[in-house]
Amino acid sequence: MLRFYFTGAHVRGGMRWFMRKQILKTILAGGLLIVTGFLLWASHSSAQTASGQGATISGTVTANRDYALSEASGKHIPALYAVRVRARDAERHIIYTVFTNKGHYQIYNLPPGTYQMSALQDGFDSTTPSVDLKAGETKTADVALKVKPDKLRAELVDFDTLYPPGATRDYLMNNCMGCHGFEHIPWHRIGGRDEDAWRRAVGRMFDMDGTSRHTGVPQVNPAAIPEEKREDIIKYFSEAFSLDGKPRDLKLDDLPLDEAALSRAINIEYELPPPLPGKKDEDISSHDVWPSKFSSTVYVAEMGMDSIQGMDTQRLDYPGRFRTYVLPNPDLGHREVGPHGITQAKDGHVYTAEIDESMIGELDPETGKVTHYETPTRSTPHTIRSDSKGNVWFSEMQGKSKIGKLDAVTKKITEYDPSPSDANAHYYGLTVDQKDRIWAVGMTSHKIVGYDPKTDKWSVYATPTQPSGPRRLTVDSKGKVWFSEHIGQALGMLDPDSGKITEYKDPYSYFGGYECYADSQDNIWVTLRSYGVLAKFDQKTKKYTYFPEPFPDIMGREHPGPHGTRMGGLYPPKIEQDAQGTFWYAGIAMHTLTAFKPEGNVPTPQRAGN
């Protein structure tokens, strides 16, 4: 069924955005002039830089103890190595985060304003000096760390201690851990339950209205997990994570950090607008993002708000830099819309995978018109991408796992079952390559599937490591398909020509690789769910560089879950790179849209006459 609406009452700044897109279309029609025109436009597209008049804050970070207690390993680590320093502009609701190099930091290209400074290190509190900056000024702000009483959140143990080996653990890893993983909704943090409570928790996975009670689709296809296996799982959980059990967590490694590389990087967090009427702060729950190729806009799928946010990267003012598109809900009061994945097709329309309503949403950013397309099979649309012809492809994760296509011309949805023998495949990440071939991962079938539109055939590739839990995937400039192995502890690469998969094993424990993204230089970026880190894999050297995320908890463990549990949530589920090389991401518990610039914290050259 097709449904369409206009969201004009919820759109701000429409004419300004319309004119900007029309100007860009005119430039694109100018042939060779596109290069000069676009680069001049793009050079001003960053809200951080103020055309050579950017101000600078620099300083030193000190600590009253020379070591910190690592939340990852429980070991002592240097207190003043690669410390994250944050500068918050309260007026504009923007936070800039950089890293120290030998105890010193510099934040370049700041707009004039008042900044509150702080520093982040495991086990320390920070002073919060304030700095008033004028255009072009350089000021000093030293930050002091004061140690807190040493206390880890939980006893840190190895995997076999946390999850006792045996047949039931093997079954869980093959059929369930592709979703839950080491640090993504981990059972050990849902623990502290008796057998009856675990029976209710396991039963929710097969609830015909979904774990959230409103998707209309079970989290797990009931046909995939027999009743006797469910009972084995309940018994395993009630023994491993009993009501009287003490808190335990995985013991991780302390990743080696390159201070010189980190000191050139900057994270810029743009705080999202206040909740919509009738919503609360805790309802703000973002997921995928999409930097537009038609304008200076970055779109954010706002699951909790049932909306799409568009942020103009040329504007600093808050909340004026945002334009909110509310997605009409045909089942208001019963279901959420739940925009999850997001993309933009060649016509400039924005498409979102509406995970709760089992629909694909189409937004015309110029008019605010929204059209919904219901999937033939009730499902939870997840990741969404467009091919060169404007067809929109999406994965259907829960229930009967499928891949869907919304035809650009007929606007009809066709569904495919790439591997009928995998009833519980959970198709998750999806991408389109240079030949318009579709690639997706089955995170609980532990397979990569590919569709060739020329032959109208699907191919299925099992990962060498079983189980692997592939999560997200990407395609590099040579057409190679890269994917994270959430539980296989590897980065995988599929050569479509040979069908061969090569795995690069993680150099440290339990990476929990989640997102996987090939940048313009063919570096492969992986979000390490367990560590709260963006990791750059160099294809030439086969080595990683690690960039800790800019949040107060490097582990991403601060998101409260039900019954007093700590579920995690401060992690980027999806990253995208814009034409200027900036990475963008949002997240479930972040309340921010973040721009990550690996080489962005460097002085802007002064223009002639300045």
The model's pLDDT over 55-79, given as tens digits with 9 standing for 90+, comes to 999 999 999 999 999 989 999 999 9
Most confident of 177-191, 370-384, 551-565: 370-384
Buried/exposed 276-305: b ≥16 CB within 10 Å, e otherwise: beeeeeeebbbbbbbbbebbbbbbbbbbbb
Looking at the fold, whether 184 and 114 belong to one and the same domain comes out as no
* End-of-domain residue from the set 221, 250, 279: 250
* End-of-domain residue from the set 117, 147, 177: 147
> Are 596 and 265 a contacting pair, CB within 8 Å?
yes
Looking at the fold, whether 226 and 166 belong to one and the same domain comes out as yes
Looking at the fold, whether 131 and 184 belong to one and the same domain comes out as no
Average pLDDT over residues 454-473: 97
Say if residue 319 is preceded by a cis peptide, omega within 30 of 0. Answer: yes
pLDDT, residue 329, reads 87
Q: Which of 209-213, 379-383, 512-516 is predicted least confidently?
A: 209-213
Residue 85: beta bridge partners? 98, 119
pLDDT, residue 212, reads 59
For residue 515, tell me if it sits in a domain.
no
Is a pLDDT exceeding 80 seen at residue 567?
no
**Tens of pLDDT, residues 112-134:** 999 999 999 989 999 999 999 99
Q: Which of 33-37, 111-115, 305-309 is predicted least confidently?
A: 33-37
Is a pLDDT exceeding 80 seen at residue 571?
no
For residue 78, tell me if it sits in a domain.
yes
Average pLDDT over residues 14-42: 39
* End-of-domain residue from the set 147, 171, 193: 147
For residue 592, tell me if it sits in a domain.
no
Looking at the fold, whether 135 and 75 belong to one and the same domain comes out as yes
For residue 108, tell me if it sits in a domain.
yes
Residue 538: beta bridge partners? 543
> Are 427 and 403 a contacting pair, CB within 8 Å?
yes
**Tens of pLDDT, residues 266-303:** 999 999 999 999 888 888 889 999 999 999 999 999 99
Average pLDDT over residues 530-551: 94
Say which residue, 242 or 218, is predicted with more confidence: 242
pLDDT, residue 49, reads 46
**Tens of pLDDT, residues 311-324:** 999 999 999 999 99
Q: If pLDDT is split at 50, 70 and 90, which confidence band does 606 have?
A: low
For residue 392, tell me if it sits in a domain.
no
For residue 127, tell me if it sits in a domain.
yes
Give the integer Cα–Cα distance in Å for 589 and 585: 12
> Are 415 and 457 a contacting pair, CB within 8 Å?
no
What is the CATH number for 112? 2.60.40.1120
Give the integer Cα–Cα distance in Å for 267 and 547: 10
pLDDT, residue 48, reads 60
Is a pLDDT exceeding 60 seen at residue 213?
no
Spatial CA neighbour of 95 closest among 469, 557, 551: 551
Q: pTM for the full model?
A: 0.90
Looking at the fold, whether 78 and 142 belong to one and the same domain comes out as yes
User: With pLDDT > 90 as the criterion, what percentage of the chain qualifies?
Assistant: 72
pLDDT, residue 182, reads 81
pLDDT, residue 129, reads 98
Average pLDDT, the chain: 87
For residue 38, tell me if it sits in a domain.
no
Domains held by the chain: number: 2
User: Where in the sequence is the domain holding 121, given as residue range(s)?
Assistant: 55-147
In this structure, what token pair is assigned to residue 580? 């200027």
Looking at the fold, whether 199 and 169 belong to one and the same domain comes out as yes
Looking at the fold, whether 134 and 60 belong to one and the same domain comes out as yes
Is a pLDDT exceeding 90 seen at residue 594?
yes
For residue 350, tell me if it sits in a domain.
no
